[in-house]
Amino acid sequence: MTCPHFRVKISSRSRNQNAVAQAAYQSGERLYDERSRRTKSYAKKDGIIYTEILLPAHAPPEYEDRNTLWNSVEQAETQWNSQLARRIEIALPVELPLETSIEMLRRYCLEQFVSRGMIADIAVHDPSSPGHNPHAHVMLTMRALDEQGRWLPKCRKEYILDAAGNRIRDGNGRWKSRKIPTTDWDRLDNVEKWRQAWENVQNQYLEIDGHPERVCLKSYERQGKDIAPTFHMGPAAAAMERRGIQTEIGNLNRAIREMNRRIDGLKYVIRELSSWLSGVRAEIAAIQEELREPSLAELLRERFSQRKEERFLTWEHSRTNSRADQKDLERLTNIFAVDNNFR
């Protein structure tokens, strides 16, 4: 069954995170962090199937080396709260061969990120048991590169001007200014676009490979489905569950699935009852219509129509017959008036 997992996170120095260490973890390599002068080694990590660094055309070729790339990123970020990398965790469809999923992932990263100037460091994991939870980690650079391959500022300062085009001072005598991003990579709607693009490319590959399954990355609420979502288990809990050890989050997800199953059953019963009640109401209305006695107004209208039809059948409609019709209409109006006054 296709999995819609797609999570975007920002690595930040303020949270004591390190780009070199994270790159070592996702690639399963031994990297040296020049900033902390420590070696980050995950060479014994299992389940790493494929790694690659995808560079834009103007990036220095030495950035294909993972150690060089992420140490350069660490050196470019000098603030205590610098954002180091954008990280994306993506579930791969188990219906597709891993070779096809890797091709799909590369195409997606080239179209969505590398074409816009980002460097994408990708790693495909398929931990034990193989084929159970294939997924990818993508690390993206946060700064653009100039034509010489040098890191550019993330934003530039713009002075705030008055109506005459002159700079304005604040209360402390400093010129008022604001920060303008040099790229649109941090736009809030980007994640939505990236999720939609990943949904589209997955469904294209599933269709090409002849699978009827389709993935949707929208929440149940946005899909208009009254279904409670389960919680992401994570690798540790998932591994314990595969070994037959029940976990707290696993029990919670089982309870949610059982609740959804019961709600579906109740909805089916309600739909059947509603359909049955609609049929009963229609039958009751038909019977009531048959048993209903005609009102005085209906009887008079019917009699008026009969008399008019008789005149047409007995002789040619003439001015005399028109006067008769008029008299019948006056009698009918008088009777209605009396009936209304009586009521």
Q: Express each pLDDT in 18-50 by its tens digit.
A: 999 999 999 999 999 999 999 999 988 888 999
What is the pLDDT, as a whole number, of residue 142? 96
What is the pLDDT, as a whole number, of residue 319? 47
What is the pLDDT, as a whole number, of residue 332? 60
What is the pLDDT, as a whole number, of residue 324? 60
Computed over every residue of the chain, the mean pLDDT equals 84
Bridge pairing between strands 6-12 and 83-91 = antiparallel
- Looking at the predicted structure, is the pLDDT value of residue 64 above 80? yes
Q: What percent of the chain has pLDDT over 70?
A: 81
How many angstroms separate the Cα of 268 from the Cα of each of 13, 251, 273, 274?
52, 26, 9, 10
Look up the pTM and report it.
Answer: 0.67
pLDDT digits (tens, 9 = 90+) for 193-204: 999 999 999 999
